[in-house]
């Protein structure tokens, strides 16, 4: 079994809700075990990260970046950075914010830089926006058009589960894609070349 951690912070429940759908998407893939972990908890025991083959990072967008508790988790991995013990693990990111853009891209970029500094391998969100093939906007996968990571939008002050169906669908596809990529890369890494291939 391959292990995936979905590490998230959520003050009002929106990011936690999307994390659950990412989790369900990843868990649906054979040979993969996934779990949700609060960034605040992992900040106290960052070495727990070593248990996982892949990590999916999730934070609300606060003022165009990750939230304070999520940054505290990131900073708690400093010792792991010094020893590059997370090198070659897979990483991906998602963010939730209240505005259609809201500078979510900036949040994903700080997650990406974090992963790069740790020597991790970044996995994106390769889904063509379905509104382009006639799916109604609110039901369309990747309606917000984000390939570098998953974006979802929760209306200001809306209940934690008040996402349009397209964002829920995208979260599940994103989780599944990450799990599938992890399995495929593992297969390649463990593949023994045939004699013809090495001749
Ligand atoms: C301090 C703070 C800063 C925020 N900054 C942004 C922002 O830059 N862009 C945006 O679209 N929404 C912003 N929001 C809205 C949150 O991203 C949004 O409410 C999100 O759903 C919160 O996620 P959570 O329910 O998981 O805590 C901000 C909210 C707070 C509290």
Asked if residue 38 has its Cβ within 6 Å of ligand 1, the reply is no
Q: Is the CB of 94 under 6 A from ligand 1?
A: no
Q: How far is the CA of 107 from the centre of ligand 1 (A)?
A: 11
Q: Is the CB of 61 under 6 A from ligand 1?
A: yes
State residue 154's pLDDT score.
Answer: 96
Atom of ligand 1 nearest to the CA of 9: 26
Ligand 1 and 96: CB distance under 6 A: yes
**In angstroms, what is the span from residue 61 Cα to ligand 1's centroid?**
5
The SS3 call for residue 152 is strand
CATH label of the domain that carries residue 44: 3.40.50.360
Ligand 1 atom nearest residue 12's Cα: 25
Question: So what's the pLDDT on residue 156?
Answer: 86
The residue written with tokens 């989790």 in the block is 23
What is the model's pLDDT at position 6?
98
List all residues 6 or more positions away from 127 whose beta carbon is below 8 Å from its beta carbon.
141, 142, 147, 170, 173, 174, 177
70 Cβ below 6 A of ligand 1: no
Mutate to test the pocket of ligand 1, among 17, 59, 67, 98 (most ligand atoms within 8 A of CB): 98
pLDDT at position 195 is 54
Count of structural domains within the chain: 1
pLDDT at 197: 54
Of all protein residues, the one whose alpha carbon is nearest to atom 22 of ligand 1 is: 60
What b/e string do you get for 87-104 counting C-beta neighbours within 10 Å, with b at 16 or more? eebbbbbbbbbeeeebeb
The residue segments making up the domain with residue 37 are 2-198
pTM for the predicted model, two decimal places: 0.95
Does the beta carbon of 162 lie inside 6 Å of ligand 1?
Answer: no
**Going residue by residue through the chain (199 aa), what tens digit of pLDDT does each one get?**
999 999 999 999 999 999 999 999 999 899 999 999 999 999 999 999 999 999 999 999 999 999 999 999 999 999 999 999 999 999 999 999 999 999 999 999 999 999 999 999 999 999 999 999 999 999 999 999 999 999 999 988 999 999 999 999 999 999 999 999 999 998 777 765 555 555 5
| Cβ 100 vs Cβ 151: under 8 Å | no
């Amino acid at each position: 079994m391959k292990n995936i951690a979905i590490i998230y912070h959520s003050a009002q429940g929106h990011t936690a809700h999307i994390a659950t759908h990412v989790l369900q998407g990843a868990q649906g893939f054979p040979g993969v075990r996934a779990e949700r972990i609060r960034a605040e908890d992992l900040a106290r025991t960052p070495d727990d990260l070593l248990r996982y083959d892949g990590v999916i990072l999730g934070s609300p967008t606060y003022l165009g970046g990750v939230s304070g508790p999520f940054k505290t988790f990131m900073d708690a991995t400093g010792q792991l950075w010094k020893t590059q013990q997370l090198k070659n693990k897979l990483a991906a990111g998602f963010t939730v914010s209240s505005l259609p853009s809201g500078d979510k891209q900036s949040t994903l970029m700080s997650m990406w830089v974090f992963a790069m500094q740790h020597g991790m391998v970044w996995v994106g969100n390769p889904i063509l926006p379905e509104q382009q093939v006639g799916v109604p906007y609110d039901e369309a996968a990747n309606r917000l058009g984000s390939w570098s990571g998953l974006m979802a939008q929760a209306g200001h002050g809306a209940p934690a589960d008040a996402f349009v169906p397209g964002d829920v669908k995208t979260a599940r596809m994103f989780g599944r894609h990450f799990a599938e990529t992890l399995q495929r890369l593992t297969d390649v890494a463990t593949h023994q070349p045939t004699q013809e291939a090495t001749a």
